[in-house]
Chains A and B, each alone.
Chain A
Amino acid sequence: MMGNLLTLIVFLPLLGALILGFVPRSANGQPKAIALIATFLPLLFAFILYGNFDSAQSGMQFSESKEWIHIAHAFQDKELVIGYSLGVDGLAMPFLLLTALVTFLGVLATKSMQRAKEFFIWYLILVTGLYGCFLAQDLFLFFLFLEMTLVPMYFLIGIWGGDRKGQVATKFLIYRGLASVGILVSFVALAFKAAVVTGTITMDMTSIAQAFAKAPADAITAGFKHGIFLVLFLAILIEEAFFPFHTWLPDTHEQSPSTISMVVGGVLMKIGAYVLFRIGVGILPDAVKYYATVIAVIGVINIVYAALVAMVQKDWRRLLAFSAISHMGVVLLGVAAMNQEGLQGGIFMTISSGLLSGLLFFLIGAVRERTGTTIINALGGLSKPMPVLAGFLLAAALGSLGLPGMSGFISEILAFMGGFAAFPGLSAVGTLGIIFAAVYLLWAMQRTTYGPTTAQLEGLSDARAIEYVPMVVFVALIILIGVYPSILGDLVNHTISSYVTRIGG
């Protein structure tokens, strides 16, 4: 029964987009209904898979694999195999669930708009791309799905964005286009080098990882691994919006419709982190270890730099973008530590940041819908007209600043437990981020929800019934992970252990 669920998850949204194509443009509400179904079914299937997932295994589960492209005599007379293969392991599972959740809640949160049909067509294509990225077990397939996220995003920002939409959409495209190039280059290099060892050119991630793990030192030199990792890492820095390649993210968040901000902050920008874990740590652990200090330094720079810049932002959406960059810096620190605590903390932080970003951008979207602005100083005293939204915003801000009992804290402390074991000095600097996060978030909260209510903000309506769904679901998960982190930890523990053993050996 589990046979084709992964394929269904990936392509149901695309099918939804196709169906939407036949819906007349004038149809009211239909596009959203179709999009809801096309994102809800994958959500349902993802949870079925989760229920049947065996977390005691470290390998791929529910795998689907078909030979797709086969050339018997490709380069240097070697066989070339590209597979259509999907699978989930302990690393991919949390990302699958995150994608399912955020993309569904994103549709739910979408307000009626101009050209809704086209919006949802692009949106659903984007969703297929996102699922594909986390489920593909073949580098070539992964790359296709990654490219599949690019074009829809360009139109989603470019058509439904804010006043600088054209410029920002282009910026998004160029940045992430460049990142794709880096990723493609490193993938090709990985495949060809693995072929030197195995004799077959394959793009299958597991085979490549095994080839790299087993290859004698003279077949795949350390220098080669380092070089290829640098190209990949550069791409990840862009993809994940790390300093100094981060400037597309605040612009994107500022100019995107709030649904798209939810998906970008919640899922899309996490692809970079996923690649870092899957390819960087999974295939090139020696190189990660070799550049550990560099990675840690970049991580700490991001933590502190983005936090300081966040402090002076005037727009909530830019503040949240920098906040996310700062938090993702913690991921780099955890990865650089290359120990169990650090890697686990890194994955926790990525997922936690995804959930919190999804929630925060939803809430800021809801505030904007009512007040017409996201400029912090134009708000104030929102607790009075909308106590529920203000309460959830406070919960989200607290989760984001790492309050224990919520997902951010356990992520942060695990990453630092790893970080302090490997880089005590750098980690100590990184803890500044914990203080700064409290400063910029509470300062923004103070100016947004506290204080006297201005006349034009009085009488605004509080949360509607439908808006409780995303808020409650997000907060429940954030608290669940904070109070009972094993729910996430048990999933990823074995996969990470297998990575760590490889590093140790």
Chain B
Amino acid sequence: MVQNAWLIPLFPLVAYLLLFVLGRRAQEGIVTGISVLAALAGFIVSLLILSDVNANGAQAPYVFHWLTVGQHSLSMGYEVTPLNAMMLTVVTFISTLVLLFSKGYMHGDERYSVFYQYLNLFIFSMLGLVISPNLLQVYMFWELVGLCSFLLVGFWYFKPEAAAAAKKAFIVTRIGDVGLFIGIVLIYVATGTFEYSGVFEAFQAKKFAIDWITPDHLITLIGILVFIGAIGKSAQFPLHTWLPDAMEGPTPVSALIHAATMVAAGVYLVARAFPIFEASPDTLTVIGIIGGITAIFAALIGLTQNDIKRVVAYSTVSQLGYMVMALGVSAYTASTFHLMTHAFFKALLFLASGSVIHAIHHNQDLRKMGGLWKKLPLTGWTFLVGALALSGIPPFAGFWSKDEILLGAYNSGHYVLFTLALIAAFCTAFYIFRVFFMTFTGEFRGEKDVYDHAHESGPVMAIPLVLLSIMAIVVGFLNSPLMNNAFEHFLFKGGEEIGNVYEANWGMAGLATLVALLGIGLAYLMYKKQSIKPENLANGALRPLYQLSLNKFYVDELYHYVIVKPVVWIGHILNFIDKWIVDGIVHLFGEGTLIGSLGLKYSQNGQVQTYGLVTLVGAVLLIGFAMYAVGGVK
């Protein structure tokens, strides 16, 4: 079955081309039908491959020749490993549901078909990235994923904010991409190949064709460069700023970006290319620290945001931080497991948020919500499941995977990271239940008219919510002692174990649960019972901290004044120099030597004969000189 893996990305590609040919006036039902069927077909093939890999383990990649460069041959192809079989399954599953959900959410949009085209291209790119057997191919799909998120974030292009957010997403991630670009180019120069297997061997042997740096330093340098790519794509600090702005895109896009495609790519790459990072303890340390900072930093910002999608977006940044940190402390299994569980409950949270937003006329401001439980019971229940999973309450999915990450940080002796992660877990539980209480309990704070018309949106939006809720409840058991850590056994099927694995520790589980419950409790007191007034905190002693969090630690402003403005200024200065100095000197030179002798009055009248003559005379003189000087004529 594994040899048919190429079919999986092909389905959405074909769907994309079909929709492209059908044009933008295609019927909504047909558009959705084609897309959902393609993704579903991909999901079914993925399941078959999953069971094949579960039985037989990883297999050698299938490659074909792509380009000859002197002695080297670059190839393209596909491969299936337990890790990417898992990714294929998750991506196709979530994609299918998002495509279905979009039928309700995008109904009536002028560019409905275009939206589905982009979604299919997006899914194709992510699947292509996942089955790539070499880093060049990864990079190509990596950029295509970035392109699709650019197109989708800016889908409502007539909104200036959407256009700006799309551009920002592309440029900020591209800064990271250049790190990856240099990283893989150096890998090629050092090892002569882009193939994972060849690169890993060279990294083990530490034999490189680069001599301006010691092998050990080169390993660290390359590791960090490649990781910079992941920082951009997975929205890690300090390149996280694009992800919350990307909320300008339609909500199904957010679900896709945050759960299955785009941001998962960074974590996936670090996991897939783990031997590159593992070869240098320094690289791992950097990865761990960046992940830890991101986890806590985004969680702190999430505490105060007023846009429902932004809170969920910051929770993604924070959860990605957990995954990255876990890789940094070599908790490989925990990280990939969290990547999987997070995909389900984060897609759930976004689609549930989308259902809320859709029901109340595309309002995203939490301050204008409230009391929606009665109107949207199914959405409320499913959001609650997602929130519990995100908070890490047993037995929901996030509990199992987050617990393993905490354990991994603690057992490997990274106590600072462990503490940060624990605090972040508290914040996570608090902010997501703040959203829950502000949305579904209390009184509606928006216009009464809107509230009266709010209602659930029918089966195309309900089915994805229910299926994802089920997954968010059960999927965590896969790597629990209750199922004998099945996920872990699957992940290392037919290969060596990577990273550290620890026995379940019920004490740690208890601590993590307690912290999460405390967070939920505080949110309950503040936003349900209102026995602690949030306004009092925001305007009281905590005001500076509140402002800091609300304004996202002013990182955007910092970048604007420290990077964007200066670069544009340099551009203006250089443009001035170009116009008045570079061009000016040439003008002077030209007019002084060539035209000056003939009198300036001829210089602007366009006498082509004159210039022809001047050129000819000059040429003859120069040739004469040259012949004399080189010794041909004497």
Contacts and interface: CB of A to CB of B under 8 A. Distances in A.
Nearest to B74: A485
Contacts of B582: 243-244, 246-247
A432 B177 CA distance: 11
Given A181-B615, A398-B147, A420 B182 contact: yes
Interface stretch (B198-206, B357-365, B396-404, B568-576): B568-576
A312 B175 contact: no
Interface string A286-322: 0000000000000000000100111111000000000
A312 B571 contact: yes
Interface string B551-585: 00000000000000001101110110010001101
A311 B571 contact: yes
B67 A158 contact: no
Nearest to B184: A413
Contacts of A484: 66
Interface stretch (A60-68, A123-131, A164-172, A460-468): A164-172
A405 B125 CA distance: 11
A104 B93 CA distance: 49
B608 interface: yes
What's the dominant secondary structure at chain A's contact region?
helix
B185 A154 contact: no
A76 interface: yes
B614 to A, nearest CB: 8
A443 B178 contact: no
Given A181-B622, A309-B571, A446 B163 contact: yes
A404 B139 contact: yes
A174 to B, nearest CB: 5
A428 interface: yes
Nearest to B209: A421
B604 A167 contact: yes
B212 interface: yes
A496 B157 CA distance: 45
Nearest to B186: A420
B578 A247 contact: yes
Given A181-B622, A439-B171, A486 B140 contact: no
Contact of A312 (B65, B572, B590): B572
Interface stretch (B33-41, B260-268, B459-467, B623-631): B623-631
Contact of A428 (B69, B182, B604): B182
B76 to A, nearest CB: 10
B262 to A, nearest CB: 16
Contact of A405 (B140, B212, B574, B611): B140
B224 to A, nearest CB: 13
A404 B69 contact: no
Contacts of A414: 69
B188 A417 contact: yes
Contact of B160 (A185, A247, A344, A452): A452
Interface in A219-251: 224, 228, 231, 243-247
A76 B612 CA distance: 30
A407 B511 CA distance: 55
A438 B70 contact: no
Contact of B570 (A154, A244, A308, A417): A308
A277 interface: no
Contact of B630 (A178, A224, A243, A431): A224
Given A76-B632, A188-B626, A420-B189, A309 B574 contact: yes
A166 B604 contact: yes
Nearest to B150: A442
B16 interface: no
Nearest to B614: A177
A170 B606 CA distance: 6
A472 interface: no
A75 B632 contact: yes
Contacts of A82: none
Interface stretch (A31-39, A189-197, A260-268): A189-197
B505 interface: no
B606 A431 contact: no
A497 interface: yes
A386 to B, nearest CB: 13
A496 B627 CA distance: 31
Interface residues of B, number: 72
What's the dominant secondary structure at chain B's contact region?
helix
A498 B140 CA distance: 30
Contact of A410 (B67, B605, B633): B67
Contacts of B603: 170
B144 interface: yes
Nearest to A424: B212
Interface in B575-603: 575, 578, 582-583, 585-586, 590, 594, 603
A352 to B, nearest CB: 14
A140 interface: no
A174 B632 contact: no
Given A170-B611, A403-B144, A158 B619 contact: no
Nearest to A414: B69
Contact of B163 (A311, A421, A450): A450
B147 A431 contact: no
Contacts of A192: 627, 630-633
B619 A446 contact: no
A151 B606 CA distance: 12
Nearest to B591: A174
Given A158-B606, A403-B143, A417-B185, A188 B623 contact: yes
Contacts of B178: 431-432, 434-435
Contact of B170 (A383, A421, A442, A453): A442
A184 interface: yes
A310 to B, nearest CB: 8
Query: Most chain-B CB neighbours within 10 Å: which of A180, A192, A450, A453?
Result: A450
Contacts of A500: 70
Interface in B78-117: none
A83 interface: no
A278 interface: no
A305 B578 CA distance: 10
A453 B164 contact: no
Given A404-B143, A438-B174, A450 B157 contact: yes
A493 B572 CA distance: 41
A178 B615 CA distance: 7
A173 interface: yes
B66 A486 contact: yes
B567 A485 contact: no
Interface string A419-445: 011001001100110110011001101
Given A312-B568, A312-B572, A417-B185, A247 B170 contact: no
Contact of B606 (A169, A188, A381): A169
Given A76-B633, A431-B181, A451 B623 contact: no
B375 interface: no
A255 interface: no
B618 interface: yes
Contacts of A384: 158
A247 B583 contact: yes
Contacts of B455: none
A417 B632 contact: no
A310 B182 CA distance: 23
24 contacts: A75-B633, A170-B604, A177-B614, A178-B615, A184-B622, A188-B627, A189-B630, A193-B632, A245-B586, A309-B575, A311-B568, A312-B568, A404-B144, A421-B189, A434-B177, A438-B171, A439-B171, A449-B157, A450-B157, A450-B162, A484-B66, A486-B65, A490-B68, A496-B70
Given A166-B604, A431-B178, A450-B154, 7 more contacts: A196-B631, A309-B575, A310-B571, A312-B568, A434-B174, A435-B178, A442-B150
Interface of A: 75-76, 151, 154-155, 158, 166-167, 169-170, 173-174, 177-178, 180-181, 184-185, 188-189, 192-193, 195-196, 224, 228, 231, 243-247, 305, 308-313, 339-341, 344, 381, 383-384, 398, 403-405, 409-410, 413-414, 416-417, 420-421, 424, 427-428, 431-432, 434-435, 438-439, 442-443, 445-446, 449-453, 484-486, 489-490, 493, 496-497, 500
